[in-house]
């Protein structure tokens, strides 16, 4: 290297290092003192269910952990899994002008799109959890934290066929929110996987009220089982209903194991169902992460300018052979 070249490169390096701003300089002094680097950031977070909801409470616990770790101010929004209510609450959230909103995608692309446009125009950062809205994100940005619903649902159906030897001509009931286009992708995937194997699938539409109070589904599930007495398997749309499997089975005088009960999530009720033989298979989507990571992503974007996270939280299958490995955390409300 020539002396001239060495001098030029040395000067360039000095200029680069001179212009680097320490990350701590970007954080307000009060936040530095508290160690909460996201202090001063205001976020509205959609929990999805009502307070105390089996699934939503795990999402909430994750969001509260992020709030405690990072220091933002977080307003928690409870919707009872009602898509229309979510849209009204999102409208109110955008009007309030927070720094960021973490939104459940249940209402779907078409319903969320105009409000996402308003949020983008107002400089409000958006994240989505549990149900993806890919067209909204393509148009106005934002990340997604949750399972990839269609592939997760299909994988559950394939795994049930593999584990339990279901054959062409068998009958299964798949319960799902089929009226909600984005949200129903998971249960549609399960139904399609079973149908591809020649299994007769009875699709039972589930309104949001069943997630809020799974006992409301007893008459409909009882009627479906009585109308299809040869049913070998029922797939449920969420942890609230899967955790209530024993109630549905007892309503039609079925013993544990008479019908294969499968679905999604890992709650204390689902662990009890495994213990007592009512539940055979579930697909874990780690709702704690669906609470924690959207807040972390909004904080990183607001404070440091990072792009939004997109994380598939699907963690594979829990069945009668391995459920004890997650039981402790599930019963503590973290899985």
So what's the pLDDT on residue 12?
A: 44
Residue 8, H or E segment: helix 3-19
CA–CA separation, 38 and 27 (whole Å): 8
Q: What is the average pLDDT value for the chain, to the nearest integer?
A: 91
Whether residue 194 contacts residue 201, with contact meaning beta carbons closer than 8 Å, is answered with: yes
CA–CA separation, 156 and 47 (whole Å): 25
Whether residue 106 contacts residue 48, with contact meaning beta carbons closer than 8 Å, is answered with: yes
92: confidence class by pLDDT, cuts 50, 70, 90: very high
CA neighbours closer than 13 Å in the CB half-sphere of residue 230: 8
Which stretches does DSSP call E strand in 177-272?
Answer: 200-205, 231-235, 260-264
So what's the pLDDT on residue 232?
A: 98
CA–CA separation, 314 and 147 (whole Å): 5
CA–CA separation, 201 and 183 (whole Å): 19
Inter-helix orientation angle 324-331/268-275, to 10°: 140
**What domains does the chain contain, in order, with CATH numbers?**
23-147+287-314 (3.40.50.2300), 149-284 (3.40.50.2300)
Q: Mean pLDDT over residues 138-166, rounded?
A: 97
Asked whether the predicted pLDDT for residue 262 surpasses 60, the reply is yes
Cα–Cα distances in angstroms (integers) from residue 21 to residues 26, 27, 321, in the given order: 8, 11, 53
- Residue position matching structure tokens 């308003």: 118
Higher pLDDT, 193 or 31: 193
Per-residue pLDDT tens digits for 217-231: 999 999 999 999 999
So what's the pLDDT on residue 21?
A: 42
Sequence-distant (6+) residues with CB within 8 A of 83 are 106, 107, 108, 111, 180, 183, 208
Q: Mean pLDDT over residues 302-327, rounded?
A: 96
So what's the pLDDT on residue 20?
A: 43
CA–CA separation, 110 and 48 (whole Å): 18
Asked whether the predicted pLDDT for residue 170 surpasses 50, the reply is yes
So what's the pLDDT on residue 29?
A: 54
Lowest mean pLDDT among 29-33, 168-172, 232-236: 29-33
Asked whether the predicted pLDDT for residue 22 surpasses 80, the reply is no
């Amino acid at each position: 290297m020539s002396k001239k070249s060495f001098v030029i490169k040395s000067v360039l390096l000095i200029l680069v290092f001179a212009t680097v701003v320490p990350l701590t300089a970007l954080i307000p002094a009060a936040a530095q003192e508290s160690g909460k680097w996201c202090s001063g950031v205001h976020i509205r977070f959609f929990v999805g269910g009502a307070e105390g909801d089996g699934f939503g409470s795990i999402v909430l616990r994750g969001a509260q952990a992020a709030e405690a770790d990072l220091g933002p101010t977080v307003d928690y929004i409870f919707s009872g899994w009602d898509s229309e209510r979510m849209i009204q609450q999102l409208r109110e959230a955008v009007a309030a002008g927070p720094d960021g909103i973490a939104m459940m995608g249940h209402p779907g692309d078409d319903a969320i799109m105009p409000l996402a446009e308003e949020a983008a125009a107002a400089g409000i950062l958006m994240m989505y959890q549990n149900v993806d809205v890919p067209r909204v994100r393509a148009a106005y940005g934002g990340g997604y934290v949750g399972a990839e619903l269609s592939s997760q649902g299909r994988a559950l159906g394939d795994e049930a066929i593999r584990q339990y030897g279901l054959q062409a001509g068998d009958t299964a009931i798949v319960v799902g929110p089929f009226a909600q286009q984005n949200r129903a992708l998971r249960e549609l995937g399960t139904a399609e996987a079973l149908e591809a194997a020649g299994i007769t699938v009875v699709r039972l539409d589930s309104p949001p009220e069943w997630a809020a109070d799974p006992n409301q589904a007893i008459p409909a599930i009882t009627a479906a089982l009585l109308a299809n007495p040869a049913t070998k398997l029922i797939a449920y749309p969420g942890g609230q209903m899967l955790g209530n499997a024993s109630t549905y089975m007892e309503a039609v005088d079925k013993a544990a194991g008479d019908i294969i009960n499968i679905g999604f999530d890992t709650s204390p009720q689902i662990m009890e169902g495994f213990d007592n033989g009512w539940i055979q298979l579930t697909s874990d989507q780690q709702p704690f992460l669906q609470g924690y990571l959207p807040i972390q992503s909004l904080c990183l974007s607001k404070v440091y300018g990072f792009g939004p996270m997109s994380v598939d939280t699907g963690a594979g299958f829990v069945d009668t052979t391995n459920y004890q490995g997650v039981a402790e955390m599930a019963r503590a409300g973290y899985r």
